[in-house]
Amino acid sequence: MGPGGRPLRTDYPGTDESLQARMDSNQVQGLQVDPNMPQEAYSMKIQELETKIDDLKEKVFQSKTRIVLLRETLLSGNLAGARAIVIHKTDMGRAFKLREALYSLDGSKVFGQVDRNGSLADKNSFEVYNGGIAPGNHNLSIFLKYQGSGYGLFPYFNGYDFEIRSSCQFKAEEGKISQIRVVAYEKGNAATSKEDRPFTRCEVQFFDNIRTDEGAVGDEAK
């Protein structure tokens, strides 16, 4: 009993009763809540929210990078438009699965993603960047992490991580689209050990940046 003979509350924040009330009103989808263990369910909800927040932070970071690159383009007076399109392509054997990809343009991250349920591993190619850039020389930095997927004669491959760090340079021209395809492939031959095979190459092409009512469109390669 509290002052004046009134019963004490048991639903203050942080108590088991209040936590259970929160979970009853906002349960995690697919989660069976044990009424005797509300704290465990609450912690799982917090972890789910933290994952969503991390995803939002990544999207905000990429948007800020695009704004910086656009500002450089406008300040340089390049209203006609130099543009870069960066495409990742995986040309590796089935012994390698892409688990993480990080791309930076002139030191600013333009793409960063960790594989979740095949979001990277199941794609043969995907767009990394598509936006305006200032005319001149540029540097594209690449970091890829592949994980071994053992099969047949290579069961020991399971769980092995292989990191690729590389870069490529290109010169953007006003009124042109610079298309950079980063191809991850296995170098060497049958005598080359699997550990030494992961590698990348950059394939650069240039197109006329033709504008229509629907936006910029590339003409034939130059």
106 & 52 share domain: no
Residues with Cβ within 8 Å of residue 202, at least 6 apart in sequence: 140, 168, 170, 180, 181, 182, 183
Residue 154, beta-bridge partner list:
none
Answer yes or no: is 195 within a domain: yes
65 & 91 share domain: no
Answer yes or no: is 89 within a domain: yes
Final residue before a domain boundary, out of 25, 41, 75: 75
Answer yes or no: is 149 within a domain: yes
Residue 185 has a pLDDT of: 92
Whole-angstrom distance, CA of residue 179 vs CA of residue 221: 10
Answer yes or no: is 124 within a domain: yes
pTM exceeding 0.85: no
Final residue before a domain boundary, out of 51, 75, 99: 75
179 & 99 share domain: yes
User: Regarding predicted confidence, which is higher, 28 or 110?
Assistant: 110
DSSP secondary structure letter of residue 207: E
Q: Are the C-beta atoms of 77 and 174 separated by less than 8 Å? A: no
Whole-angstrom distance, CA of residue 9 vs CA of residue 27: 23
Between 16-25 and 38-75, two packed helices, what is the crossing angle to 10 degrees?
60
Q: Are the C-beta atoms of 68 and 109 separated by less than 8 Å? A: no
35 & 71 share domain: yes
Whole-angstrom distance, CA of residue 72 vs CA of residue 192: 44
Structure tokens at 57: 């932070």
- What order do you get walking across the sheet with 96-105 strand by strand? 108-114, 96-105, 136-148, 161-172
Read off the pLDDT of residues 156-176 as tens digits, 9 standing for 90 and up.
Answer: 667 788 899 999 999 999 889
104 & 150 share domain: yes
Answer yes or no: is 109 within a domain: yes
61 & 91 share domain: no
57 & 92 share domain: no
Answer yes or no: is 3 within a domain: no
Q: Are the C-beta atoms of 139 and 169 separated by less than 8 Å? A: yes
Could you tell me the CATH number of the domain that includes residue 100? Answer: 2.60.40
Say yes or no to pLDDT of 81 above 50.
Answer: yes
Q: Computed from CA positions of residues 78, 80, 82, 83, in that sequence, does the dihedral angle turn out positive or negative?
A: positive
143 & 211 share domain: yes
Residue 129 has a pLDDT of: 95
* Listed residue (176, 184, 181) closest to 206, CA to CA: 176
85 & 55 share domain: no
User: Position of tokens 């999207």?
Assistant: 59
Instruction: Count up the domains in the chain and report the number.
Output: 2
84 & 71 share domain: no
Residues spanned by the domain of 44: 12-75
Residue 194 has a pLDDT of: 72
Answer yes or no: is 87 within a domain: yes
Q: Is 123 helix (H, G, I), strand (E, B) or coil?
A: coil
Average pLDDT over residues 179-196: 84
100 & 55 share domain: no
Q: State the CB neighbour count (10 A cutoff) for residue 36.
A: 8
Average pLDDT along the chain? 76
112 & 99 share domain: yes
Final residue before a domain boundary, out of 24, 48, 75: 75
Answer yes or no: is 191 within a domain: yes
User: Position of tokens 């995907």?
Assistant: 126
